Structure 1
Amino acid sequence: MIVASFIIFHIGSRMIAQSSKMAMEGGDPWQPFASGLGQLLFGGLSHAAQMNWWVAGFWGRWAASWRS
């Protein structure tokens, strides 16, 4: 159970960070899921708000990788 929650947290943090980055950059045809999710979740936000989500996702990834 602990390992499963760690994996979900790690993958979720990566997806949030990459989706917000794709929303800031306008999308990438080679990353359709991250681009679509970024437009869906972060498309209407200001650049500062998108940057906050990107940083939050990055720190989640860092914390997950640091513990492993």
Structure 2
Amino acid sequence: MTKTDTDGRQWEYTTYAPKGETCPACGKSIKSLESCRRGMLSCRGSSPVVAYWHTACAPKEEGR
């Protein structure tokens, strides 16, 4: 089992979040037209969900 089997934070791209999104890292809302990172957030036993992180809050990708 690799880390990606249980950690769904795989960044798809930098984008803008829909209105009302909250950063799961800091708990603050993401402002309109604020650049952010989009990825999937999941845990074992549940379906992955789309999540948005502030660019500064997004954990750094390993190996890059």
State the TM-score, normalized to the length of structure 1.
0.27
Structure with more strand by fraction: 2
Structure with more helix by fraction: 1
